[in-house]
Amino acid sequence: EIVLTQSPGTLSLSPGERATLSCRASQSVSSSYLAWYQHKPGQAPRLLIYGASSRATGIPDRFSGSGSGTDFTLTISRLEPEDFAVYYCQQYGSSPYTFGQGTKLEIK
């Protein structure tokens, strides 16, 4: 199975700053079938990015995804207070689907 490793584990930033989250795969992700999710406590995870770089419906354009093969990045251009959450990457190109362990984005 494809192992996804996210870094950093925790990212401490202030509103208005730029956030860069990394997701590295143990083998190439088929057809860039890589997604990013935002998860806040007590809420359902929210799909942000699919196909490595396509924003899901209703996602603000401050969220962007990039990468291919084994290295992927989620960038939040200017952090808003509501962006502080845990972020997960997921590959859905091979079975079993797998997730990274998450990056916690916290307010500095």
Partner 1 sequence: QVTLRESGPALVKPTQTLTLTCTFSGFSLSTSGMCVSWIRQPPGKALEWLALIDWDDDKYYRTSLKTRLTISKDTSKNQVVLTMTNMDPVDTGTYYCARTFGQWEPFDYWGQGTLVTVSS
Residues that bind partner 1 (CB under 8 A): 33, 35, 37, 42-47, 50, 56, 88, 90, 92-93, 95-102
Residue among 11 and 48 whose Cβ is closer to partner 1: 48
Q: What is the DSSP letter of 15?
A: T
Of 24 and 93, which CB lies nearer to partner 1 in the complex structure? 93
CA distance 49 to 58: 11
The torsion angles phi and psi of 82, rounded to 5 degrees, stand at -80, -5
Q: What's the closest the beta carbon of residue 66 comes to partner 1, in angstroms?
A: 16
Of 10 and 101, which CB lies nearer to partner 1 in the complex structure? 101
- Residue 4 contacts residue 23 (beta carbons within 8 Å): yes
